[in-house]
């Protein structure tokens, strides 16, 4: 087995050289009898204007492809300055595409040119750039073949490529994090995919333009004809792995453009290689040599994001109690001079939960969008108040009434009156069944609570996540808990996020055979306890808004949220307590982003999928430095 592995490794490294040699031999035989002096003369006939235009097109192409490193570093939550990432990425690509063995060369260049970057992280970035570029190139070729039909590509192939790409996008949306053998693999987000495809289009179109402007003006070859052929040749060159794609690139061009004069076409290719391969390689080599001789410190990103772990810093006295859910959903606190707010990261969206802890929504909008962009995600504000929604709408954000929060003033709560008829009936049922409710002061019966929660999950399935908690020993240890007993047996419990001024209902668990009304009695006793402790507000949490809307889009989004969020059952239960319903809203920078964010939230809740990889938080000792950088951009 060891011999076979070594043989495979040797073949993997020899293959590109062998293929390049074979292609060069074939190319040499095809060009036998060609007047090399005429070929060189054609190269020398290229005018200064053509050279200048080719250099300009090459510069645009490299600026586009260098952005791949920015997206890759954002994907892996590497908080570095975009300009530094672009410079390193352009150098890695400039050397890798010319020397061949792009994965090895690219990894080495990124490793040596980026301070504090490990070899493993450099390899991850290189792999991300390589795989996503090849995927985007395939889609680009398919789009070019549809827009500029060519006989060199079978008619069904573009549709097949686009269908596969659409399938991958659906998988990335529905299952943003894949797990295998205990390892988590995060797929690129849809905004990242769109950006990568756009960059690939710019890169390849301008690379083709660099070749086109170097061809003689009187050559009977249009850019529309050259572009799909160039893309196919580029793909052949990249997949071959030969240094600079020498051999496969030229052979593919000559084979797909048989009616063009070979000496003139090859002269253009030679000039193209000088501008698009040799010149970037020289500049990249100089940049790498400078970094090796004079290492520099990593530059802080201009728009630094200060993510704090929840609980590391004190919250405002008016902080929303429900922020406690951040302890479980991988969220953090986004902190800057403009204020602080709770943040959670799901598949395609960076979600600001509730109103800001400090500051106002308008001042937090810019840091939120910067933070979302640094995660390759769209920004979204979720469950914000009507006042914050009005401010967001005035700032040009799209706003949607998404849910209604059931609020109770404990001191004013009563079970008298027609509004509480259903509640009184449920309470009588529970009391007749000898259900007693306790508020434990000491150690929680975590084993019994786990048993109740497991039985509840066996009947109802994995509990929803995001802003809805899941049972965990440490998690409930931070909450107010009420236990329902029938005799000595625990039959149910509820938990509340709690601050000095507010409680918010979170976990609701009962055994399948618990007497009718057990949950109602638990909540009622919690309301009474909150009144005794002078808690000003008790929230029964939010329920999806009714499935109506002024526009078809709003009605569709609210209908989906109501359907998949269990709206009917939640509203029926909370209505028993005759709460005051307070509308909550979500907002995003535009209608398209709002639609994607809404569907992403529905997916995260309904599929019971955990948020994407947790947000990396800056150590406390770095907070002052990060805030200082953010102050300069506010």
Q: For residue 446, give the CATH number of its domain.
A: 3.40.630.30
pLDDT greater than 50 at residue 178: yes
Three-state SS across 557-619?
Answer: HHHHHHHHCCHHHHHHHHHCCCCEEEEEEEEECCHHHHHHHHHHHHHHHHCCCCCCCCCCCCC
Query: Residues 349-372, buried b or exposed e (16+ Cβ, 10 A)?
Result: bbbbbbbbbbbebebbbbbbebbb
Identify the residue with better confidence: 568 or 279. Answer: 279
Q: Are residues 94 and 216 in the same domain?
A: yes
Query: Would you place residue 634 in the very low, low, confident or very high pLDDT band (cuts 50, 70, 90)?
Result: very low
pLDDT greater than 90 at residue 315: no
pLDDT greater than 90 at residue 492: yes
The span from the CA of 444 to the CA of 375, in Å, is: 38
pTM for the model stands at 0.83
Residues near 291 by beta carbon (within 8 Å), at least 6 away in sequence = 112, 113
- Residue 311: the pLDDT is 67
Q: What SS3 state is found at 218?
A: coil
Q: Are residues 254 and 106 in the same domain?
A: yes
Q: Are residues 266 and 389 in the same domain?
A: no
Place of tokens 């690939």: 200
Q: What is the pLDDT of residues 355-400, one digit of tens each?
A: 888 877 778 888 889 889 988 999 999 999 999 999 899 989 999 9
Q: Are residues 200 and 312 in the same domain?
A: no
Identify the residue with better confidence: 181 or 488. Answer: 488
Please indicate, yes or no, if residue 556 is contained in any of the structural domains: no
Q: Are residues 117 and 74 in the same domain?
A: yes
Looking up residue 329, the CATH number of its domain turns out to be 3.40.630
Do residues 227 and 148 make contact, with C-beta atoms less than 8 angstroms apart? Answer: yes
Q: Are residues 284 and 313 in the same domain?
A: no
- Residue 180: the pLDDT is 77
- Residue 207: the pLDDT is 94
509 DSSP β-pair partners: 493
Q: Are residues 482 and 531 in the same domain?
A: yes
pLDDT greater than 80 at residue 146: yes
The span from the CA of 399 to the CA of 557, in Å, is: 12
- Residue 317: the pLDDT is 60
- Residue 632: the pLDDT is 41
Q: What is the pLDDT of residues 509-566, one digit of tens each?
A: 999 999 999 999 999 999 999 999 999 999 998 888 888 877 887 788 888 888 777 7
Please indicate, yes or no, if residue 558 is contained in any of the structural domains: no
Identify the residue with better confidence: 99 or 512. Answer: 512
Identify the residue with better confidence: 478 or 567. Answer: 478
Do residues 367 and 630 make contact, with C-beta atoms less than 8 angstroms apart? Answer: yes
pLDDT greater than 70 at residue 578: yes
Last residue of a domain, one of 250, 266, 293: 293
pLDDT greater than 80 at residue 78: yes
pLDDT greater than 60 at residue 619: no
Please indicate, yes or no, if residue 248 is contained in any of the structural domains: yes
Q: Are residues 521 and 424 in the same domain?
A: yes
Q: Are residues 288 and 423 in the same domain?
A: no
Query: Would you place residue 626 in the very low, low, confident or very high pLDDT band (cuts 50, 70, 90)?
Result: very low
Q: What is the mean pLDDT of residues 97-108?
A: 83
Q: Are residues 58 and 191 in the same domain?
A: yes
Please indicate, yes or no, if residue 251 is contained in any of the structural domains: yes
Last residue of a domain, one of 535, 568, 589: 535
What is the DSSP code (8-state) at residue 468?
A: S
Query: Would you place residue 494 in the very low, low, confident or very high pLDDT band (cuts 50, 70, 90)?
Result: very high
Last residue of a domain, one of 519, 535, 551: 535
Token pair for 540: 């029964």
Q: What SS3 state is found at 489?
A: strand
Q: Are residues 310 and 335 in the same domain?
A: yes
The span from the CA of 66 to the CA of 291, in Å, is: 18
Please indicate, yes or no, if residue 165 is contained in any of the structural domains: yes
Q: What is the pLDDT of residues 194-247, one digit of tens each?
A: 999 999 999 999 999 999 999 887 778 889 889 999 999 888 888 777 777 777
pLDDT greater than 50 at residue 631: no
Query: Would you place residue 23 in the very low, low, confident or very high pLDDT band (cuts 50, 70, 90)?
Result: low
Q: Are residues 57 and 96 in the same domain?
A: yes
Q: What SS3 state is found at 364?
A: helix
Please indicate, yes or no, if residue 237 is contained in any of the structural domains: yes
Lowest mean pLDDT among 264-268, 370-374, 486-490, 608-612: 608-612
Do residues 405 and 542 make contact, with C-beta atoms less than 8 angstroms apart? Answer: yes
Domain hosting residue 121, numbered range: 16-293
Q: What is the mean pLDDT of the chain?
A: 83
Domain count for the chain, please give it. 3
The span from the CA of 13 to the CA of 9, in Å, is: 7
Lowest mean pLDDT among 17-31, 145-159, 480-494: 17-31
Please indicate, yes or no, if residue 541 is contained in any of the structural domains: no
Please indicate, yes or no, if residue 594 is contained in any of the structural domains: no
């Amino acid at each position: 087995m060891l011999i076979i592995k070594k043989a495979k490794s040797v073949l993997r490294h020899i293959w590109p050289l062998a293929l390049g040699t074979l292609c060069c031999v074939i190319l040499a035989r095809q060009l036998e009898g060609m007047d090399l002096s005429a070929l060189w003369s054609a190269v020398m006939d290229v005018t200064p204007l053509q050279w200048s235009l080719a250099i300009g097109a090459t510069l645009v192409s490299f600026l586009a492809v260098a952005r791949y490193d920015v997206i890759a570093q954002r994907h892996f939550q590497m908080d570095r300055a975009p300009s530094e990432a672009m410079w390193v990425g352009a150098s890695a690509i400039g050397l890798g595409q010319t020397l061949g063995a792009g994965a090895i060369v690219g990894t080495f260049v990124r490793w040596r040119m980026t301070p504090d970057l490990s070899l493993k992280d450099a390899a991850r970035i290189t792999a991300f750039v390589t795989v996503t570029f090849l995927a985007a190139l395939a889609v680009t070729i398919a789009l070019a073949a549809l827009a500029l039909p060519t006989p060199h590509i079978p008619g069904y192939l573009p549709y097949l490529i686009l269908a596969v790409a659409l399938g991958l996008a659906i998988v990335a949306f529905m299952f943003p994090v894949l797990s295998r053998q205990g390892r988590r693999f995060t797929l690129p987000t849809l905004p990242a995919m769109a950006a990568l495809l756009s960059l690939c289009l710019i890169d390849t179109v301008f690379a083709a333009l660099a070749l086109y402007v170097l061809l003689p003006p009187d050559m009977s070859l249009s850019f529309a004809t050259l572009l799909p052929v160039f893309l196919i040749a580029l793909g052949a060159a990249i997949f071959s792995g030969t240094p600079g794609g020498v051999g496969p690139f030229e052979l593919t061009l000559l084979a797909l453009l048989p009616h063009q004069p070979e000496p003139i076409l090859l002269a253009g290719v030679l000039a193209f290689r000088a501008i698009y391969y040799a010149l970037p390689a020289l500049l990249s080599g100089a940049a790498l040599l400078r970094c090796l001789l004079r290492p520099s410190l990593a530059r802080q990103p201009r728009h630094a994001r200060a993510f704090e772990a929840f609980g590391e810093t004190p919250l405002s006295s008016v902080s929303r109690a429900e922020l406690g859910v951040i302890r479980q959903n991988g969220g953090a606190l986004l902190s800057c001079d403009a204020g602080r707010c709770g943040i959670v990261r799901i598949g395609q969206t960076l979600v600001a939960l509730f109103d800001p802890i400090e500051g106002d929504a308008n001042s937090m909008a810019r840091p939120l969008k910067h933070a979302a962009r640094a995660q390759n995600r769209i920004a979204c504000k979720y469950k914000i108040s009507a006042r914050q929604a009005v401010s967001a709408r005035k700032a040009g954000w799209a706003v949607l009434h998404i849910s209604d929060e059931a609020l109770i003033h404990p001191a004013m709560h009563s079970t008298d009156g027609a509004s509480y008829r259903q509640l009184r009936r449920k309470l009588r049922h529970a009391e007749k069944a000898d259900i007693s409710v306790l508020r434990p002061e000491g150690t929680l019966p975590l084993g019994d609570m786990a048993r109740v929660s497991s039985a509840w999950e066996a009947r109802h399935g994995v509990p929803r996540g995001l802003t809805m908690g899941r049972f965990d020993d440490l998690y409930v240890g931070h909450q107010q808990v009420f236990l329902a007993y029938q005799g000595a047996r625990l039959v149910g419990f509820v938990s509340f996020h709690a601050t000095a001024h507010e409680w918010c209902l979170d976990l609701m668990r009962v055994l399948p055979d618990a007497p009718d009304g057990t949950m109602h009695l638990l909540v009622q006793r919690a309301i009474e306890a909150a009144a005794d402790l002078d808690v000003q507000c008790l929230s029964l949490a939010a329920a999806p808004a009714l499935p109506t809307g002024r526009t078809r889009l709003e009605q569709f989004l609210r209908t989906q949220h109501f359907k998949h969020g269990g709206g009917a059952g939640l509203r029926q239960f909370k209505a028993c307590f005759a709460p005051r319903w307070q509308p909550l809203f979500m907002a995003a920078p535009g209608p398209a982003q709002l639609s994607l964010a809404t569907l992403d939230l529905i997916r995260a809740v309904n599929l019971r999928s955990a948020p994407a990889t947790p947000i990396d938080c800056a150590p406390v000792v770095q907070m002052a430095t990060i805030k200082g950088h953010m102050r300069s951009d506010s």
